[in-house]
């Protein structure tokens, strides 16, 4: 489970940027929170709104860059411990619009939680080379943090937990030491961290080809849950079949006593989006994975997007701490009946083209009052009160200059 992620000097983000999945001390939707003994409550869902070019996708790219940098060398050598689902490699690119940041390192820091422990991992990259890296681990409820390793360029210092005879501290400058240890040694504390990175799912519907990657399964329980979820969203499908001869997926509908098949390519864009996306969501829920999705709302009716969010916020369905992080333009879903205030984030650029993020819970009025939980989030956003779209107010008022 993701607890907190921070970074700076990545694409449109020049300054330190902090994204938090830890729940704020507010009352709304408390029953939906991911609760763990001896640890803070975590959010099951977070959404990022903002204008085109504001930095929504780049925030997801930053997190995806860190994940894929760790996982890529492990996967290339076939050393992954769990099946990878739709991970995409994202290159590390610094901020380039100020004349100095392009020559500086990009820094990442992430806190994540696995069974019984919380990890803190830092990684700094400059021109694809690792210049700093560190991994710490703390047992949930424990007072002491175990320092597993620290790396400054090529100098690596091992902590007590993994300081064993034969552990090599010489590694390629472009490979994270976490990846190197995961590939070459059977160390439980390293394997636990490795598996968390491997469990993350990264999906972008900004890419037109994304909807062609479809997960199908012959497992009867999976098929039942998949079809039930589609029917709940008013997609009238009774089954599916993959033809190995023509390499095509067919969806089935029963009319009367007869079953008819239609090639997946002939379905509506919305149906294709759901058939492609839903299996990944169900897998994330079943196995407790982090699902990162750019433009989740593309081609989806707002009611269907609300249904997807509700899946992750339902503790009866989300029993293993799955989390959904996505970007959206769908203001119709920005409701206090759908999200907590700390689940809504905004991304926007300033006049120097530097992206910033902040949560709805962080916004305060001139008298230092927070946005009320009963407020009409969507209406206030469209009125320009949240500041994430500098052009909306002028457009609404008719001032197009």
* Structural domains in the chain plus CATH codes: 2-206+277-397 (3.40.50), 214-268 (no CATH)
Q: Which has the higher per-residue pLDDT, 400 or 332?
A: 332
pLDDT of residue 296 exceeding 50, the answer is yes
Of 292, 277, 312, the C-alpha closest to 60 is 292
Q: What is the pLDDT of residues 212-229, one digit of tens each?
A: 556 666 677 878 888 888
pLDDT, position 393 = 44
pTM comes to 0.89
Residue at token pair 């820091």: 109
**Exposed/middle/buried for 220, CB within 10 Å: 0-12, 13-18, 19+?**
exposed
Distance CA 155, CA 193 (A): 22
Average pLDDT rounded to a whole number, residues 135-147: 92
pLDDT, position 210 = 47
pLDDT of residue 287 exceeding 90, the answer is yes
Of the pLDDT bands very low, low, confident and very high (cuts 50, 70, 90), residue 152 is: very high
Q: Are 327 and 56 in contact (CB under 8 A)?
A: yes
Of 324, 372, 382, the C-alpha closest to 21 is 324
Mean pLDDT comparison of 214-228, 268-282, 321-335, highest-scoring range: 321-335
Average pLDDT rounded to a whole number, residues 245-269: 82
81: CB partners within 8 A, 6+ apart: 191, 194, 195, 198
pLDDT of residue 1 exceeding 70, the answer is yes
Of the pLDDT bands very low, low, confident and very high (cuts 50, 70, 90), residue 71 is: very high
Q: Which long-range contacts (CB under 8 A, 24 or more apart) does 307-314 make?
A: 307/232, 307/233, 308/277, 308/281, 309/45, 309/47, 309/333, 309/338, 309/339, 310/338, 311/229, 311/281, 311/285, 312/44, 312/45, 312/281, 312/285, 313/29, 313/32, 313/44, 313/45, 314/32
Q: Residues of the chain with pLDDT > 90: what percent?
A: 58
Q: Residue 104 to residues 12, 96, 99, 380: CA-CA distances in angstroms?
A: 14, 10, 10, 39
Q: Residues of the chain with pLDDT > 70: what percent?
A: 93
């Amino acid at each position: 489970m993701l607890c907190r992620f921070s970074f700076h000097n990545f694409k449109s983000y020049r300054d330190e940027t902090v994204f938090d999945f830890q729940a704020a001390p507010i009352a709304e939707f408390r029953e939906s929170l991911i609760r763990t003994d001896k640890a803070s409550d975590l959010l099951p869902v977070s959404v990022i709104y903002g204008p085109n070019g504001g930095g929504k996708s780049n925030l997801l790219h930053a997190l995806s860059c860190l994940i894929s940098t760790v996982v890529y060398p492990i996967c290339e050598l076939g050393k992954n411990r769990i099946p990878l689902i739709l991970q995409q490699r994202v290159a590390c690119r610094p901020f380039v619009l100020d004349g100095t940041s392009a020559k500086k390192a990009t820094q990442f820091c992430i806190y994540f939680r696995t069974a019984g422990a919380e990890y803190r991992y830092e990684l700094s990259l400059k021109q694809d080379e690792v210049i700093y890296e560190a991994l710490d681990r703390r047992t949930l409820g424990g007072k002491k943090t175990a320092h597993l390793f620290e790396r400054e360029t090529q100098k690596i210092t091992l902590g007590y937990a993994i300081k064993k005879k034969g552990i090599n501290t010489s590694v390629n400058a472009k490979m994270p030491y976490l990846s190197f240890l995961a590939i070459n040694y059977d160390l439980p504390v390293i394997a636990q961290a490795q598996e968390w990175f491997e469990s993350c799912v990264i999906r972008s519907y900004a890419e037109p080809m994304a909807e062609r990657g479809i997960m199908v399964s012959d497992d009867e329980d999976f098929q039942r849950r998949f079809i039930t979820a589609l029917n709940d969203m008013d997609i009238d499908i009774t089954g599916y079949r993959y033809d190995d001869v023509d390499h095509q997926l067919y969806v089935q509908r029963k009319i009367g006593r007869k079953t008819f098949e239609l090639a997946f390519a002939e379905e509506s864009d919305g149906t294709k989006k759901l058939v492609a996306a839903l299996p990944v969501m169900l897998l994330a829920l079943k196995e407790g994975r982090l699902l990162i999705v750019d433009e989740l709302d593309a081609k989806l009716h707002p009611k269907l997007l609300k249904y997807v969010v509700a899946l992750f916020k339902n503790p009866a369905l989300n029993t293993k701490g799955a989390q959904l992080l996505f970007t959206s333009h769908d203001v119709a879903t920005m409701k206090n009946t759908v999200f907590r205030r700390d689940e809504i984030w905004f991304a926007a650029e300033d006049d120097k083209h530097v992206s910033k993020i902040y949560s709805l819970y962080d916004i305060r009025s001139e008298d230092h009052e927070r946005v009320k939980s009963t407020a009409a989030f969507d209406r206030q956003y469209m009125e320009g009160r949240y500041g994430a779209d500098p052009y909306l107010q002028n457009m609404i008022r008719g001032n197009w200059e």
